[in-house]
Structure 1
Amino acid sequence: MVLRESPFPSRLLSGLNSLGQLLLFPSYWAADGLLDLQELTARTRQGQRCRCRLLRVPLMGLALLLLFLLAVPAALLGLVLWCPLQAARRPFAYKHTRLSRRPAGWELPGQRQGQAFSFVSANVCLLPSGLAKCSNLGQTQQRAARIGQLIAQGEAATKYGAVACSPPRPGPAAPCPDASSVAIEVPDGEPGAGLGEIVASFPPAADFLCLQEVFDLRAAARLCRPLSLAYEHILYDVGVYGLPSCRALKIFNSGLLLASRYPVLAAQYYCYPNGSGEDTLAAKGLLCVQVQLGAAQGQRIVGYLNCTHLHAPAADAQTRCDQLTMALFWVQLFQDTHAQPGDVVAFDVFCGDLNFDNCSAGDSLEQSHDLFQQYQDPCRVRPRQDQPWAIGTLLNYLQIHAQALATPQHMKRELEHEEGRHRCLAGPILADGRPDPSAEGSPWKGRRIDYILYRERPNPIGLTTEVEKFWFITQLAGCSDHLPVGLRLLLKPAAQ
C-alpha cells in the first residue's frame, strides 16, 4: 500500500478544501476566542473551584462577538464548499520524513536474543483553547509545540536542564534534578513487583506513539514539526468530516495521531456510528495500522497497532461496550485484509483512552468486556482488581496547576505515595458519574482510563512475548489532564 501525503486525490480538491477552511477560519477563531475568555481554575494553592466568567474582558468579548457575526456569511459559503469535498477525502493525512537515523530491520532467525519494542499512549487535550478550558487547560498552540518537543526529545530534561512543561531556554544548562525512574512501592513477593514504574521523562527512542484529542488542526501541525525529527512516519488529522456514514455532522476529527519509527504498510480508519451528547460532533473511531519490522527467511515481520478513543460521557457504558465490540470486529477485518501468507506477526497492540477504569463500580459493564479475553492488560489482575503497582492516569482537573504538580519531578514525587495520589488523581465513580464513596478506603489508586493492551499471535517461528516494563509518565505536567503510559515488549524466537 503506497501512502500519499495529502488526504485528497488531487491538488485541485486539496486547494478547494483549503479555500473552504480559510473562509471558515475567522468565525471559528472568534468563537474559540469567546470561549477562551473563561477563567482557568485558580492557580493558587488554595485550589478554590472554577469561576467561569465568560466576558472577563468585556471590550474583548464585544469585539470577538462582532467579528463572529461579520464572519458568518463567509463561513456559510465556506461550509457549502467544504462539506461536499469531504466525501473525496481519505480519512487521514500522512507525513513522511526521511531520517538518517532509522531503526535497523529485524532479521530472523539470526537474532536469538530477541527484539524489544516500546509503545507510548497519551491523551494530550489539544482541543481549541476555549474548549480545553473545560479541562482547566488553555493555550492549545503553545502546549502543542511543547508536547511535541518533550516527546521527540525523550531526554530533554537531562540535556537542557528543563523540568517544567516549557521549551529549553538559550544559555548554559541549569543543574537538573534526578530524572531516574521510581518503582511503585508494592509488598514483597507480589507478582509483577517492579514491573511498573513512575518516570519523569518519556522513554528515549520509543518506537510507536499514539495520541488522543489532537483535535485542533493548527495544534496538530505544531505537534508534527518536532515529532517528524524523531519519527519518520506520522498519521494525523485522522477521521471524517461533514456528513459521512457516521450519520451526524462531524466538525472535529477523531483526535488520533500515530507516529512510527518503522515503515507503515497499511492503515485504515473506522468511525464509530453511535456517538451521542458531547461526542456527537467528533468523529471518534479506530485507527488500525500495519508496520513492517524486518524479514524472516524471505517473509515479512509485521506488527499491528490499533488506536482508539472511546465515548466520554460517564453514564453511557453500553455505548462504550458497543464501540469495543465494533473495534474488535474491525481489528480482525483489517488484519485479515492485509495479511500475507507466511507473515510473522511480532505484536498486536490495542491502546488509547477507553474512558473507563478497572476499579469504579460504575464501569462494571466495560470491565467484563470480551476485549480483556482477547488482549492482555499488564496492569490488571481481574475485573475490579489491578496490579499493586498500577495507578490512575486521569488527573483531578482542579489540581492541574497546583504547586505539587508544577513539574514532572514534583508530580512524580507526589504520585509515589498514596496520599499524593488521592490529592492529584481523579477518583472512582458510580454509574451516573458521581464519586464512588465505597472507594475511599486503602489502597487508593485513582482512575486508570489510558490503556496499552497486547496479544500474542500465532506465527511460523513461535515468537514469545514478554512484558519488560510498564511506565506511568509525568513529563507532561501542566500540559495535559492525563498521565501518558508506556509499554516495552520483548519478542524472542522460541527456544530451539
Structure 2
Amino acid sequence: MAHPSWMKGSSAFPSPVLQIFFDTIEFFIRPFMWCLTGTFGPFLPTTKELKHPKYLILQKLFFVPIYAAGALLLLLPVIVAFLFRNILHQFRRPFCLSVQKDKAVASPKSTYSVATSNLCLMPEIFSKFNNLDKTAERAVKVGERIVIDQLHYTDMMEKFLKKSDHTIRNGAIYSHEHSGVQTRSMDKSKNLNSSQNRDSDVKVDVVAHFPQLDFLCLQETFDRDFTKLLVSELHKVYPWIVYDVGYNSPRLNYCGLNSGLMFASRYEILEIKFKPFTSRCGFCTIVGKGLLMVKVCVQKRTNGGNDVGFIFDTHLQAFQGDNPVVYHQLTEILDWSSEFREETIESGDNVLFDMLCGDFNIDNMSPGDVHISDHKLFETYVDICREKPGKDYDWTVGTELRTPLLHEEAVSTPEGLKTVLEDPYLRQYYLIDADIESATMDAIYNAPLKKDAHGNLILSPVGGRRRIDVVLYRKESPVKIQNYNIITRLAPLTDHIPVSVTFSCDN
C-alpha cells in the first residue's frame, strides 16, 4: 500500500520552510519559559525541595528577582512569537511521525504486548503541582529504563534461568523452590467469571521491570522539548513513534497544551488519525485532549493482504467534578474508533487485535464515577479487571499514587514500590482509594487516609485501588489475554503506575 504524503517525513508541516520558522519561534519562547519557572517554581516546592529550606530562601531572595526581570524583558517578544506560532499551527498536521528507517521492523509472532503510562512530562511549572520536577531529566530516565528493559533485562533473565531452577513469565521471575521470594504472583484467575472465560488463565503480576513491549501508549507528554528527549531514547527500540499530537487553537484549547498523547511501535504504522474531544471543563479547557487512532501492520502476507491491528490511545477529562464530561468523551471514543476502523480497513486486511489504552481519570468503584461504569463502551471493549460495573476483581490494585508521598523512601525505587503494591496496608497508605465521591482536584490530591482514633490505618476493601490507567480490548476481536502486569519500573519518575497486557490472537 502506498503511504500518504504525511508518512514521508517527521515534520508536521507540509513545507520545510514552515518547520524552520516554527522551530525558530520555539527557540525564542524557550528562555521565557525558563524564566517563568525560575520565578514561580520556588513558591511551588516539591517535598524533596522542602527538605532544603535554606536553599529555597536563597532562591526566593536572589534568583527569583533575576528570573522575574528576565521574564518581564522577554514578555513582549514572546507575545509576538506566541501569536505567530499559533498562526503556524493552523497549517500543521495534528501529529509528528518519526521513523528510524535503519531499524528493522519486528517479525510477526504469536503474542503481542502493549503498555500504557501517564508520564507527567508537562512544563516544569505544571509538573510541580504533581510534586514532580526536573522534567527533562525525568524524560531521559523514563526512556532509558524502558529501553534497558527491552534490550537487556529479558535476555539477562533468560541466561540466569538456564543456570537455576526458575521459570520466567513475561519478564517476572518465579522460583520453584521458594515461590514468592523474588516476586509475588497475583494469579487470581479463579475470580474471573464465566462471561470472560476466554481470559480464565490470565496471569496477573506486579513486576519491577517492563516486559517485552511491542506497543507503548503514553499520556502527558505535553512539553515538546522534553518529549523529543524521550523520543530519542525510545528510538533505540521502537522504529515508529507518533508524538506532539493535537491541535492548537483559541476554540479547542485557548492555544495551550497539546493532547499529550504519544505512541511507539516496533511494527510499521499504516494509518494515523487524531480527533479532539468536543467537551471539556476546568484545567482541561487549555489542554487539547482527544483520541489518537493508529493502524499497524504486523505482517504482510505473501498471498496478499496484511495482518493488522488497531490501537487507540487517550487521556480523559481530569477533575470533572459533577460535570458529565467523561461520559460524553467515552461516547466519542466509541464512535470514532468504529469510524476509524471502517475508514481504514482494506480488502485483504486480517484484523488481529483492537486495543484501547490510556488514562481514563475514572475508576470502576468510586461513588463519584459509578454512573460512568455502565457506559456502553464497556460492552464493546473488555476490561479484564472489572468483575461487573461498579466492582473490580479482588486482585486489582490502583494506579494513582498519593502525590504528597511520591518521594518517600518506601516508593522511591521500583522494588520498593513493588513491595508496597503487594501489601494491602502499604498500598492503601501510598495509593489513592477507590472511594472518591466527586472527582475534584482537592478530593484526589488531598484524599485523606482512613485512620481510627489512635491514628492507626483502617484497612478498606477499596483502599489503594483507584485504577484509572487501563488497557482494554474490543470484544469482537480474536484476542486472548495471557498476562496483565502492574509495572513499578518508573518509580518515582511519575505519579502513575504503568500497566501492560500480553495477548495472543486466535487467528
Same fold (TM over 0.5): yes
Does 2:203 align with 1:195?
A: yes
Which residues in structure 2 correspond to 1:331-410 (within 5 Å)?
331-410=337-416
Secondary structure of 1:23 counterpart: helix
State the distance in 2 between where 1:350 and 1:100 align: 26
Q: Is the 8 A contact 1:427 1:436 kept in 2?
A: no
* Deviation of the 1:116 alpha carbon: 0.5
Q: Is the 8 A contact 1:375 1:453 kept in 2?
A: yes
1:472 to 453, 478, 486: 486
State the distance in 2 between where 1:157 and 1:60 align: 43
Q: Is the 8 A contact 1:250 1:280 kept in 2?
A: no
State the distance in 2 between where 1:413 and 1:350 align: 29
Structure 1 window deviating more from structure 2 (189-198 vs 398-407): it is 189-198
Does 2:184 align with 1:182?
A: yes
State the distance in 2 between where 1:319 and 1:223 align: 31
Secondary structure of 2:286 counterpart: coil
State the distance in 2 between where 1:334 and 1:133 align: 37
* Deviation of the 1:43 alpha carbon: 4.3
1:490 equivalent in structure 2 = 504
State the distance in 2 between where 1:358 and 1:12 align: 48
Q: Is the 8 A contact 2:432 2:465 kept in 1?
A: yes
State the distance in 2 between where 1:193 and 1:37 align: 51
Unpaired runs of at least 5, structure 1? 107-114, 162-176, 459-463
Does 2:430 align with 1:411?
A: no
* Deviation of the 1:39 alpha carbon: 5.0
Does 2:249 align with 1:242?
A: yes
1:118 equivalent in structure 2 = 113
Structure 1 window deviating more from structure 2 (370-379 vs 291-300): it is 291-300
Indicate how the Cα distance of structure 1 residues 360 and 209 shifts in structure 2: closer, same or farther if over 3 A, else same.
same
**What does the per-residue CA deviation read over 1:322-351, in whole Å, with 9 as the maximum and x for residues that have no partner?**
111111111111111111123210000111
Report the structure, 1 or 2, having the larger helix content: 2
State the distance in 2 between where 1:43 and 1:29 align: 20
Q: Is the 8 A contact 2:47 2:131 kept in 1?
A: no
**What does the per-residue CA deviation read over 1:8-61, in whole Å, with 9 as the maximum and x for residues that have no partner?**
0001111121222223222222112223223544349xx99x9xx899522111
Q: Is the 8 A contact 1:38 1:54 kept in 2?
A: no
1:166 equivalent in structure 2 = none
Indicate how the Cα distance of structure 1 residues 314 and 421 shifts in structure 2: closer, same or farther if over 3 A, else same.
farther
* Deviation of the 1:490 alpha carbon: 0.8
Does 2:453 align with 1:450?
A: no
For 2:207, give the aligned amino acid. V
State the distance in 1 between where 2:31 and 2:264 align: 31
Q: Is the 8 A contact 2:131 2:403 kept in 1?
A: yes
State the distance in 2 between where 1:5 and 1:432 align: 38
Does 2:68 align with 1:61?
A: no
Indicate how the Cα distance of structure 1 residues 259 and 410 shifts in structure 2: closer, same or farther if over 3 A, else same.
same
1:135 to 127, 130, 134: 130
1:233 equivalent in structure 2 = 240
* Deviation of the 1:62 alpha carbon: 0.6
Does 2:90 align with 1:83?
A: no
1:222 to 220, 223, 229: 229
Aligned length: 458
For 1:372, give the aligned amino acid. F
Does 2:330 align with 1:324?
A: yes
Which residues in structure 2 correspond to 1:245-324 (within 5 Å)?
246=252, 248-296=253-301, 297-324=303-330
State the distance in 1 between where 2:317 and 2:187 align: 33
State the distance in 2 between where 1:226 and 1:196 align: 29
State the distance in 2 between where 1:450 and 1:57 align: 37
* Deviation of the 1:273 alpha carbon: 2.4
Unpaired runs of at least 5, structure 2? 157-171, 175-181, 193-199, 451-457
Which residues in structure 2 correspond to 1:27-42 (within 5 Å)?
27-38=32-43, 40-42=45-47
**What does the per-residue CA deviation read over 1:256-291, in whole Å, with 9 as the maximum and x for residues that have no partner?**
110000000010010112222211111111100000
Indicate how the Cα distance of structure 1 residues 156 and 316 shifts in structure 2: closer, same or farther if over 3 A, else same.
farther
**Normalised TM-score (structure 2):** 0.84
For 1:217, give the aligned amino acid. R
1:102 to 94, 100, 105: 105
Secondary structure of 2:382 counterpart: coil
Q: Is the 8 A contact 2:429 2:464 kept in 1?
A: no
Q: Is the 8 A contact 1:430 1:436 kept in 2?
A: no
For 1:78, give the aligned amino acid. A
Q: Is the 8 A contact 2:201 2:482 kept in 1?
A: no
For 1:275, give the aligned amino acid. R
State the distance in 1 between where 2:104 and 2:358 align: 28
Secondary structure of 1:367 counterpart: coil
State the distance in 2 between where 1:61 and 1:437 align: 36
For 1:465, give the aligned amino acid. V
For 1:80, give the aligned amino acid. L
Secondary structure of 2:398 counterpart: coil
For 1:38, give the aligned amino acid. F
1:145 equivalent in structure 2 = 140
State the distance in 2 between where 1:54 and 1:242 align: 39
